[in-house]
C-alpha cells in the first residue's frame, strides 16, 4: 500500500507538494548514459546497485542501457524488484537463517538470482534449502579486499570456501565479489587508487589460486562510484556494482579528482524539495524537511543553486536555514531544492520519485523496495 504521491505528471515543479524526492531527469539520464558508455569502453559489464534507488523503473532504465542486471542488499529488496519485473539480481550480501534462505531459494526459481557467502555455515544453509526445493543457486564468495566489513580473507580461506561450495549439492560456484567499501569515500584520488590497486591484487591472486585448483571464477564483481575507474581498467573485474553515480549526493561531491578538484563526472540529480514554513527573522528560516525526509549521518544537505542560504539545524520535521542577508532573501512559501548528504538512506524514507524536466513533472515512479530492509 503506497502513500499518495506528492505530484501528478504534467504539473509544474512549484506545484509539487513537499517534502518530496525530486529527480532532475536531464542530469539523471546523463549520469546513466555516461556510466554505460564508460563501462562499454572499458569492456566490463554493469550491474548497478539498486540499494541506491530501490525502484524497478530505474533498474529498467539501467538495463535498457546495457546493464546485465542489478545488485540488491537484502532478500526483501530483491523480491520487490523481481515482483516489479526485474529478472536478474545479485544479492551482494550474506544471507543467514532458514526463513531468509528459504525466500531466497524460492526467488531463484522465479528469476536469475545469485548471492554472496563468507562462511561455511551459509553454504550449508543454502545447500540444504536448494536441495529440498530441487533447484540450484549461484554463489559468489565475498572476499575482504581491504574494506574490513564482510568477506573471507583472500587466498587459502577463499579456496577452502570455494571447494565447500563446489562440493555442496544444489549450489553452483560462480566467482568472487571483491568490493572495497572504505575506499569509495576516501577523498584523495591517489589514496582511492592505492586502496583499489591493493583490492585488485587480492582479487586477482585469489582468482588465480582458485583456477589452479580447478575452480575458475566466471565473474569477479565489485566497485562503487568512488573507485570504479580503477576496477574497470584492471583487466580483472568483469562487473561494476556502482550505485550512487545515478544521483550523486553531497558526501560523494567531496571526493577529489585527479587534479585535486571536487569530482564532476556525475551531476547531482536527486533533491529533497522543501517549503519555507516559518521566517522567524531576516537571517533565519525554517523548512518542512528534517530527519524524516532525509538522512543526516553524512552531514547536512546543501541548498541547491542558492548562495547565501545554508541548512544549519535539524529536527524530525524541521530544518533551520541561515540566511546571509547580503546575498539572499527567503520568503514564507518559497520552495527550495536540497542536495541530501547520503542518497541511499534518504531514498528509503520516501515512497515516490518525482521526475522533473524543464520545471514540469514528467514521471512519478514508485520506490518499490522502500522499507525492504529484511
Contacts with ligand PLP by CB under 6 A lie at 49, 51-52, 71, 92, 179, 184, 224-226, 241-244
List Cβ neighbours of 54 (8 Å cut-off, separation of 6 or more).
77, 80, 81, 347, 348, 367, 368, 369, 370, 372
Q: How many CB atoms lie within 10 A of CB 87?
A: 14
Distances (CA, A) of 88 to 102, 130, 269: 18, 18, 26
**Cα 184 from chain centroid (whole Å):** 12
For residues 226 and 341, which CB has a smaller minimum distance to ligand PLP in the complex?
226
CA angle 149, 81, 238 (to 5 degrees): 55
Distances (CA, A) of 79 to 67, 89, 204, 359: 19, 9, 32, 34
How many alpha carbons lie under 13 Å from residue 30 in its C-beta half-sphere?
14
For residues 227 and 274, which CB has a smaller minimum distance to ligand PLP in the complex?
227
For residues 18 and 73, which CB has a smaller minimum distance to ligand PLP in the complex?
73
For residues 18 and 269, which CB has a smaller minimum distance to ligand PLP in the complex?
269
Residue 60 backbone dihedrals phi, psi, to 5 degrees: -60, -40
For residues 51 and 192, which CB has a smaller minimum distance to ligand PLP in the complex?
51
For residues 127 and 241, which CB has a smaller minimum distance to ligand PLP in the complex?
241
User: In sequence order, what are the beta bridge partners of 161?
Assistant: none
For cell 585448483, the residue is: 213
Least Cβ distance, residue 87 to ligand PLP (angstroms) = 20
Crossing angle of helices 98-107/120-133, nearest 10°? 50
Q: How many CB atoms lie within 10 A of CB 291?
A: 14
Amino acid at each position: 500500500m503506497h502513500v499518495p504521491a506528492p505530484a501528478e505528471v504534467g504539473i509544474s515543479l512549484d506545484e509539487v507538494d513537499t517534502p518530496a524526492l525530486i529527480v532532475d531527469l536531464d542530469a539523471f539520464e546523463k549520469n546513466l548514459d555516461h556510466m554505460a558508455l564508460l563501462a562499454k569502453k572499458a569492456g566490463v559489464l554493469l550491474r548497478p546497485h539498486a540499494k541506491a534507488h530501490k525502484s524497478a523503473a530505474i533498474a529498467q532504465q539501467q538495463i535498457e542501457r546495457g546493464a546485465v542486471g542489478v545488485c540488491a542488499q537484502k532478500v526483501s529488496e530483491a523480491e520487490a524488484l523481481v515482483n516489479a519485473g526485474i529478472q536478474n539480481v545479485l544479492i551482494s550480501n550474506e544471507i543467514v537463517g532458514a526463513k531468509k534462505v528459504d525466500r531466497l531459494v524460492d526467488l531463484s526459481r522465479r528469476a536469475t538470482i545469485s548471492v554472496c557467502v563468507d562462511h561455511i555455515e551459509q553454504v550449508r544453509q543454502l545447500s540444504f534449502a536448494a536441495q529440498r526445493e530441487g533447484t540450484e543457486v549461484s554463489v559468489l564468495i565475498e572476499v575482504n579486499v581491504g574494506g574490513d566489513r564482510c568477506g573471507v580473507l583472500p587466498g587459502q580461506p577463499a579456496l577452502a570456501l570455494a571447494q565447500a561450495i563446489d562440493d555442496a549439492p544444489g549450489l553452483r560456484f560462480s566467482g568472487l565479489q571483491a568490493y572495497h567499501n572504505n575506499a569509495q569515500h576516501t577523498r584523495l584520488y591517489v589514496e582511492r587508487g592505492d586502496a583499489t590497486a591493493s583490492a585488485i591484487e587480492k582479487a586477482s591472486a585469489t582468482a588465480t589460486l582458485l583456477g589452479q585448483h580447478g575452480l575458475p571464477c566466471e565473474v569477479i564483481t565489485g566497485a562503487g562510484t568512488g573507485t570504479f575507474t580503477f576496477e574497470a581498467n584492471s583487466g580483472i573485474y568483469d562487473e561494476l556494482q556502482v550505485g550512487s553515480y545515478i544521483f550523486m549526493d553531497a558526501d560523494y561531491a567531496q571526493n577529489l579528482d585527479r587534479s585535486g578538484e571536487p569530482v564532476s563526472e556525475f551531476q547531482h540529480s536527486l533533491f529533497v524539495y522543501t517549503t519555507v514554513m516559518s521566517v522567524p527573522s531576516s537571517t533565519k528560516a525554517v523548512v518542512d524537511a528534517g530527519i524524516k525526509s532525509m538522512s543526516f549521518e553524512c552531514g547536512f544537505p546543501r541548498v541547491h543553486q542558492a548562495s547565501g542560504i545554508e541548512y544549519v539545524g535539524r529536527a524530525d520535521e524541521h530544518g533551520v536555514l541561515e540566511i546571509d542577508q547580503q546575498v539572499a532573501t527567503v520568503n514564507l512559501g518559497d520552495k527550495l531544492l536540497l542536495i541530501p548528504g547520503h542518497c541511499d538512506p534518504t531514498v528509503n524514507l520516501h515512497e515516490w520519485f518525482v521526475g522533473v524536466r524543464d520545471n514540469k513533472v514528467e514521471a512519478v515512479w514508485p520506490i518499490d523496495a522502500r522499507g525492504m530492509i529484511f
